[in-house]
Amino acid sequence: MEITQNFDSGNIEIINCNSPKEIEIEIKEDSNSHFYQWFYFRLSGVKDTECKIYIRNAQGVAYPKGFQGYRVCCSYDKSNWFRHETELIGDSLAIVIKPVRDIIYFAYFVPYTLEQHYALIASSLRSEFCRHEVLGKTIEDRDIELVRFSSNPEKKGRKVFWIIARQHPGESMSEWWMEGLIEQLVDGPKTFVKQLLKECDIYLVPNMNPDGSYRGNLRTNAAGRNLNREWENPSLDKSPEVYFVKRKMRETGVDFFLDVHGDESLPYCFIAGTEGIAGWNKQKQAQLDFFKGRLAQLNPDFQTEVGYPAKRPGLANMTMSATQMAATHNCLAMTLEMPFKDTIDTPDEEFGWSPIRSKQLAHSCLLVMAEYLSGFC
Ligand code: ZN
């Protein structure tokens, strides 16, 4: 019996792997940080053997509620993933399973590895409207990558839409969402895409945190920085990912901004606005209400009742991407959250929240973006 985690996005530490009856492991802390919750590992040599796996440090994670009523993601082949019950026993998260093959993978959510990211970037370039740009390098010398969809970038008066994902690398559903969006832009209905790109350029950063993704971090980059607290004053040394993206945004301008995340605890899809910025007004509220309202109409998994409480004007945390974009570029800027577990109103008993549902949500978002473009820009 072996446990392996030394691969792209892997994370686990072995405490005791002598008997399948009591496999003891711990989740490693993010690089230079005390956050942890993302795990991804392979167990082998256990076909038809009942295994009891205990994640011993499950109650010290960043979001302990995330493991209440949680079902772990499992796969025998890394492409088909299913959910399996877990139980919280004291400080441990227990997984009891009898694998039907010699190899089984476990992960906090269906992984989106850096290799998948590179394949996604390459696939986006099948579109005649897509161009690729390296904005800079991460601390570990990886490319910070931008793809731009535009049919006529030279034309004056075009609107500029920016979407970023995976500032928090453990929130892999956000890059599944990006894959869904890119699929629509590359292979979606031609007249729809053409019409959309006639009026606007879409800038995408599908993975803001490649170092953290590769390292199997939950929230931070290689320097231990939470990138979504670096937007007020990004540092070239400690948060180059934000530094280079923000610099490009200054160059292009921003008319619409969306930052895509996953939430460990809340079993809902929701959008957080930027009501806490100083210049919040009725017009901005109407823009936000339109986007959220239309998305809820188009996609049953999205709702507007539950989310983070809105801050009062002037109380915003200005270190976050959405508040910075809203204040700097005076545009609609939002944070989209998807669950790790499932939506409580539209549950999927078999798969929970999943890559396919993340992608469907992206399709709906693109439709609402097109309506927002014609109605508000
Ligand atoms: Zn997040």
Cα(306) to ligand 1 centroid in Å equals 17
What pLDDT does 364 receive?
Answer: 98
| Tokens coding 152 | 């006529």
Cα(233) to ligand 1 centroid in Å equals 19
Cα(355) to ligand 1 centroid in Å equals 16
Neighbours of ion ligand 1 (CB under 5 A): 168, 171, 261
What pLDDT does 330 receive?
Answer: 97
- Residue pLDDT, tens place only, 48-101: 999 999 999 999 999 999 999 999 999 999 999 999 999 999 999 999 999 999
Q: Which residues of the chain have pLDDT under 70?
A: none
* Nearest one of 208, 203, 207, 201 to 243, comparing CA atoms: 208
Beta-bridged to residue 149, according to DSSP, are 130, 202
What pLDDT does 175 receive?
Answer: 98
What pLDDT does 154 receive?
Answer: 87
Hunting for tokens 């508040």 — which residue is that? Answer: 323
* Nearest one of 170, 168, 165, 166 to 38, comparing CA atoms: 170
Cα(271) to ligand 1 centroid in Å equals 12
Cα(80) to ligand 1 centroid in Å equals 25
Long-range contacts of 27-31 (CB under 8 A, 24+ apart): 27/55, 27/57, 27/58, 27/61, 28/216, 30/212, 30/215, 30/217, 30/218, 30/219, 30/220, 30/224, 31/211, 31/212, 31/215, 31/217, 31/220, 31/221, 31/222, 31/223, 31/224
Report the largest interatomic distance among the alpha carbons of the chain, rounded to a whole angstrom: 67
Q: Is 196 helix (H, G, I), strand (E, B) or coil?
A: helix
What pLDDT does 377 receive?
Answer: 87
Q: Nearest 5°: CA angle at 170, between 164 and 173?
A: 60
Cα(85) to ligand 1 centroid in Å equals 24
Rounded Cα distance, 318 and 315, in Å: 9
| 0.95 surpassed by pTM | yes
**Which residue in 337, 349, 350, 371 is the catalytic one?**
337
Rounded Cα distance, 162 and 197, in Å: 13
Radius of gyration of the chain (CA): 21
**199 tagged catalytic:** no
